[in-house]
Amino acid sequence: MRIRERRLIVAFYTTHDAMAFEDFCLDRGIGGRLIPLPREISAGCGLAWSAPPGDPAGLRALLAEAGVAPQHMKEMDI
Amino acid sequence: MDERYGVGIDIGSTCAKTVVVDGDGRILWRDLRPTGWSSVDTAGAIRRDLTEAVKDGALVRFVATGYGRVSVPFAHRCVTEISCHARGAAGQILLMKEYPMIYLDNAATTMTKPACVVRAVTEALTSLGNTSRGAHEGALNTNRLLYRTRKKLADFFGCPRSEQVVFTNNSTEALNIAICGTIHRGDHVITTVLEHNSVLRPLYRLEKERGVQLSFVQADRLGRINYSDFERLIQPNTRAIVCTHASNLTGNMLDIDRIGKIAAAHGLLFILDASQTAGATPVHMAKSGISLLCFTGHKSMMGPQGTGGLCINGDVEVDPFKVGGTGVQSYLTEQPREYPTRLEAGTLNGHGIAGLSAAVDFIAATGMDAIHAHEIALCRRFYEAVVSIPKVRVYGDFSSWNRCPVVALNIGETDSAVVCDALACDYGIATRAGAHCAPLMHRALGTEAQGAVRFSFGYFNTAEEVDAAIEAVRDIAGRN
Nearest alpha-carbon partner for B379 in B263, B272, B300? B300
> pLDDT value at position B469?
96
Nearest alpha-carbon partner for B177 in B312, B353, B276? B312
Residue B421's φ and ψ, nearest 5 degrees, are: -70, -40
Note whether A44 contacts B338, CB cutoff 8 Å. no
| pLDDT < 50: residue spans in chain B | 1, 94-98
Q: Nearest residue of B to residue A36 by CA position? A: B135
**What is the bridge-based pairing of β-strands B27-34 and B15-22?**
antiparallel
Q: How many CB atoms are closer than 10 A to CB B107?
A: 27
Of chain A, the end-to-end C-alpha distance in Å amounts to 11
Q: How many CB atoms are closer than 10 A to CB B206?
A: 20
Q: Nearest CA to CA, how far is A4 from chain B (Å)?
A: 18
> pLDDT value at position B97?
45
Residues from B contacting A (CB-CB < 8 Å) are 131-135, 140, 143-144, 146-148, 150, 162-163, 327-332, 336, 338-341
Per-residue H/E/C for A17-64:
HHHHHHHHHHHHCCCCEEEECCCCCCCCCCEEEEECCCCHHHHHHHHH
Name beta bridge partners: B237.
none
DSSP secondary-structure letter at B170? S
Note whether B162 contacts A45, CB cutoff 8 Å. no
Q: Is the peptide bond before B100 cis (omega within 30 degrees of 0)?
A: yes
Q: Is B424 left (phi over 0), alpha (psi -120 to 50) or beta?
A: alpha
> pLDDT value at position B96?
45
**What's the farthest any 2 CA atoms get from each other in chain B?**
77
Residue A43 has pLDDT above 80, yes or no: no
Give the ipTM.
0.82
> pLDDT value at position B479?
82
Question: Which residues lie below 8 Å from residue B422, measured CB to CB, with a gap of 6+?
Answer: B476
| Residue B44 burial (10 A CB sphere; 0-12, 13-18, 19+) | middle
Residue A31: half-sphere exposure toward Cβ, Cα within 13 Å = 7
| Residue B384 burial (10 A CB sphere; 0-12, 13-18, 19+) | exposed
Distance of CA B369 to the CA centre of its chain: 21
> pLDDT value at position B62?
84
Chain B hits for A18, Cβ within 8 Å: 143
Residue B214's φ and ψ, nearest 5 degrees, are: -120, 140
Q: What is the pLDDT of residues B22-66, one digit of tens each?
A: 777 788 888 999 998 888 889 888 988 887 777 776 777 888 888
Q: What is the DSSP secondary-structure string of B311-327?
A: EE-TT-----SS----S
Task: Please identify among residues 8-67 of chain A the ones whose CB lies closer than 8 Å to any CB of chain B.
Answer: 13-20, 22-23, 34-36, 42-47
- Residue B267, SS3 per DSSP: coil
Note whether A47 contacts B144, CB cutoff 8 Å. no
Q: What is the pLDDT of residues B316-334, one digit of tens each?
A: 999 999 999 888 888 889 9
Tell me how many degrees the CA angle B218-B252-B155 measures, rounded to the nearest 5. 115
DSSP secondary-structure letter at B417? H
Q: Nearest residue of B to residue A39 by CA position? A: B329
Domains in chain B, CATH or no CATH each: 4-98 (3.30.420.40), 102-112+367-479 (3.90.1150.10), 115-366 (3.40.640.10)
Q: What is the DSSP secondary-structure string of B88-127?
A: -HHHHHGGGGGPSPEE-BTTT--SS--HHHHHHHHHHTTT
Domains in chain A, CATH or no CATH each: 6-77 (3.30.70)
Q: Which amino acid is at B268?
A: L
Task: Name the residue among A22, A43, A45 with its Cβ closest to that of B327.
Answer: A45
Question: Which residues lie below 8 Å from residue A50, measured CB to CB, with a gap of 6+?
Answer: A7, A8, A9, A32, A33, A34, A35, A78
Note whether A46 contacts B140, CB cutoff 8 Å. no
pLDDT band for position A68 (cuts 50, 70, 90):
very high
Q: How many CB atoms are closer than 10 A to CB B202?
A: 21
Helix (H) or strand (E) holding B158: none
DSSP secondary-structure letter at B278? B
pTM of the model: 0.81
Distance CA B384, CA B386 (A): 6
Q: What is the pLDDT of residues A13-25, one digit of tens each?
A: 889 999 999 999 9
Distance CA B257, CA B279 (A): 18
Question: Which residues lie below 8 Å from residue B364, measured CB to CB, with a gap of 6+?
Answer: B156
Classify the C-alpha dihedral A67-A70-A75-A77 as positive or negative.
negative
DSSP secondary-structure letter at B419? H
